[in-house]
């Protein structure tokens, strides 16, 4: 009997724990002299930046708040050290730390400024919805908590600067409270709030689990009325090194609808509890739509949609030359790789197609450049074959094998490849790949 998957909360799920070094510094500052505070802030900030980088780099949830906190501590320490030379000795670090946290939080939230590895994690390993049922939580909560930290930083910055300009001394009782204990208490309150919020979300996830277990046992007729439990099958069609796309205008009656060039085959069906069941339905859709009895259909990934228990199964269908005419029934045309590359960064492609294409690009590009252990296939350092759809159906790879997404960022061309390999050996981290090479 298969063991039920548990979604127990772990400390790595609490993103605001990245504030801990700053909270520690604010709590201890009243008992330290000026020089010790500056040195500790610079050292702790620099160390926390490195830790947060590897925290993200090793796919340990979202370390963006730790990255923001580390840079804020480092920059404020350096700024305060420079100001020491001007005789401004009694200004608290919160005057610089809070604005730095607010600025970096704003850049993350509004302008997508974040650590390079965090960006690649989204683009190459897929968006957070692809991490099963906790994906929606991870995607939304990261931005929600960053906004909360941004609000707290703006409040602390405004209050501390107001008091400082009013003339409240750092050694007075009011100064000690508002410059040190208030931001420390606010940071602890954010951590406590997120922990309670995370527990409530955990309870909601478990409730969805129970509902889905019941509805997955109902008949198809009953499931037709359950709009909250469905699987959407999306199939990319490739033939003669081109991809067939049609115009998808979306549902304009919905508040958030997506439009653009999209895949020709996308059908909503009853919820699939296993990958085998989903694959069978995908093959049946191809038989019904195109009349192909034994389609060359490959599974790429299955993601979670906007709500738990709404799945999207992504597939690739390879068509031989003599079957291309079967797509004439759709109001679209074949696009080359170059044409799609020009459209990729515009608003003319459907977001779900862009995600699938980016994933396919990464897998194929990586498998043609590296072995599954991260070693280069070619002796020329930095060389990568140009991406094309030529003979990708004959590549000896499994498209839904996560090893190629891992190798895309962990290979010998990466500066920290050996350090990362050593760290993973130290913590005995292994991949789950069943496919060893292309």
Q: What is the pLDDT of residues 412-432, one digit of tens each?
A: 877 666 666 676 666 554 444
Largest interatomic CA distance in the chain: 85
For position 272, what pLDDT does the model report?
80
Q: How far apart are CA 138 and CA 303, in angstroms?
A: 14
| Sign, CA torsion 136/309/358/275 | positive
Q: How confident is the model at residue 241 (pLDDT cuts 50, 70, 90)?
A: very high
For residue 134, is pLDDT > 80? no
Mean of the per-residue pLDDT values of the chain: 77
CB atoms within 10 A of CB 132: 14
Using CA atoms of 187, 99, 127, 340 in order, give the dihedral in degrees to the nearest 10: 180
CB atoms within 10 A of CB 197: 16
Q: What is the pLDDT of residues 105-119, one digit of tens each?
A: 888 777 655 555 454
For position 6, what pLDDT does the model report?
47
Does residue 385 or residue 259 have the better pLDDT?
Answer: 385
The helix/strand/coil state of 236 is strand
Q: What is the pLDDT of residues 311-344, one digit of tens each?
A: 888 999 999 988 899 998 899 999 999 999 888 8
Beta bridge partners of 246: 262, 332
Task: Kindly give the interhelix angle for 34-57 and 116-124, rounded to the nearest 10 degrees.
Answer: 20
For position 285, what pLDDT does the model report?
93
Residue of 328, 322, 315 whose CA lies nearest to 356:
315
Q: Of 157-166, 401-410, 426-435, which gets the smallest average pLDDT?
A: 426-435
Average pLDDT on 136-154 reads 78
For residue 137, is pLDDT > 60? no
Q: Length of the chain in residues, anyone?
A: 438
For residue 170, is pLDDT > 70? yes
Q: How confident is the model at residue 380 (pLDDT cuts 50, 70, 90)?
A: confident
CB atoms within 10 A of CB 329: 9
Q: Of 18-22, 386-390, 419-423, which gets the smallest average pLDDT?
A: 419-423
Percent of residues, the chain, with pLDDT higher than 90: 21
For position 363, what pLDDT does the model report?
92
For position 1, what pLDDT does the model report?
35
Q: What is the pLDDT of residues 171-208, one digit of tens each?
A: 788 888 888 889 999 999 999 998 888 888 777 766 65
For position 126, what pLDDT does the model report?
45
Q: Are strands 230-239 and 310-318 parallel, antiparallel or unpaired?
A: parallel
Contact 286, 264 (CB under 8 A): no
Q: How far apart are CA 393 and CA 438, in angstroms?
A: 12
For residue 23, is pLDDT > 80? yes
Contact 315, 278 (CB under 8 A): no
Cα angle, residue 134 at apex, residues 132 and 136 outer, rounded to 5°:
95
């Amino acid at each position: 009997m298969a063991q039920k998957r548990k979604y127990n909360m772990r400390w790595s799920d609490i993103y605001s724990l990245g504030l801990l070094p700053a909270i520690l510094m604010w709590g201890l500052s009243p008992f330290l002299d000026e020089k010790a505070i500056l040195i500790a802030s610079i050292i702790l900030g620099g160390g926390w930046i490195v830790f947060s980088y590897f925290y993200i780099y090793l796919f340990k949830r979202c370390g963006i708040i730790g990255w923001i906190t580390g840079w804020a501590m480092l920059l404020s320490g350096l700024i305060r050290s420079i100001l020491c030379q001007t005789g401004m000795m009694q200004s608290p670090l919160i005057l610089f730390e809070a604005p730095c946290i607010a600025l970096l939080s704003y850049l993350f939230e509004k302008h997508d400024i974040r650590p390079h590895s965090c960006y690649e994690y989204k683009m190459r390993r897929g968006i957070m919805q692809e991490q099963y049922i906790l994906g929606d939580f991870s995607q939304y909560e990261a931005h929600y908590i960053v906004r909360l930290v941004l609000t707290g930083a703006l409040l602390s910055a405004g209050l501390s600067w107001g008091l400082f300009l009013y003339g409240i001394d750092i050694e007075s009782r009011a100064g000690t409270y508002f410059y040190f204990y208030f931001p420390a208490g606010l940071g602890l309150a954010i951590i406590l709030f997120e922990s309670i919020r995370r527990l409530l979300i955990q309870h909601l996830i478990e409730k969805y689990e129970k509902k889905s277990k019941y509805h997955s046992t109902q008949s198809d007729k009953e499931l037709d009325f359950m709009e909250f439990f469905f699987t959407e099958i999306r199939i990319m069609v490739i033939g003669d090194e081109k991809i067939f796309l049609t115009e998808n205008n979306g549902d304009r009656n919905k508040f958030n609808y997506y439009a653009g060039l999209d895949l020709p085959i996308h059908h909503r069906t009853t919820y699939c509890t296993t990958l085998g069941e989903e694959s069978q339905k995908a093959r049946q859709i191809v038989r019904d739509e195109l009349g192909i009895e034994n389609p060359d259909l490959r599974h790429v990934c299955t993601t979670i949609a906007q709500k738990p228990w709404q799945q999207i199964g992504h597939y690739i269908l390879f068509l031989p030359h003599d079957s291309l005419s079967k797509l004439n029934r759709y109001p679209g045309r074949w696009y080359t790789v170059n044409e799609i590359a020009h459209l990729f960064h515009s608003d003319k492609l459907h977001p779900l197609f862009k995600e699938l294409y980016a994933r396919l690009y990464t897998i194929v590009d990586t498998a043609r450049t590296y072995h599954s252990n991260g070693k280069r296939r070619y002796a020329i350092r930095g060389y990568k074959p140009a991406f094309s759809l030529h003979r990708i159906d004959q590549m000896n790879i499994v498209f839904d094998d996560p090893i190629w997404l891992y190798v895309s960022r962990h290979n010998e061309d990466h500066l920290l490849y050996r350090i990362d390999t050593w760290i993973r050996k130290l913590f005995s981290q292994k991949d789950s790949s069943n496919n060893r090479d292309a």
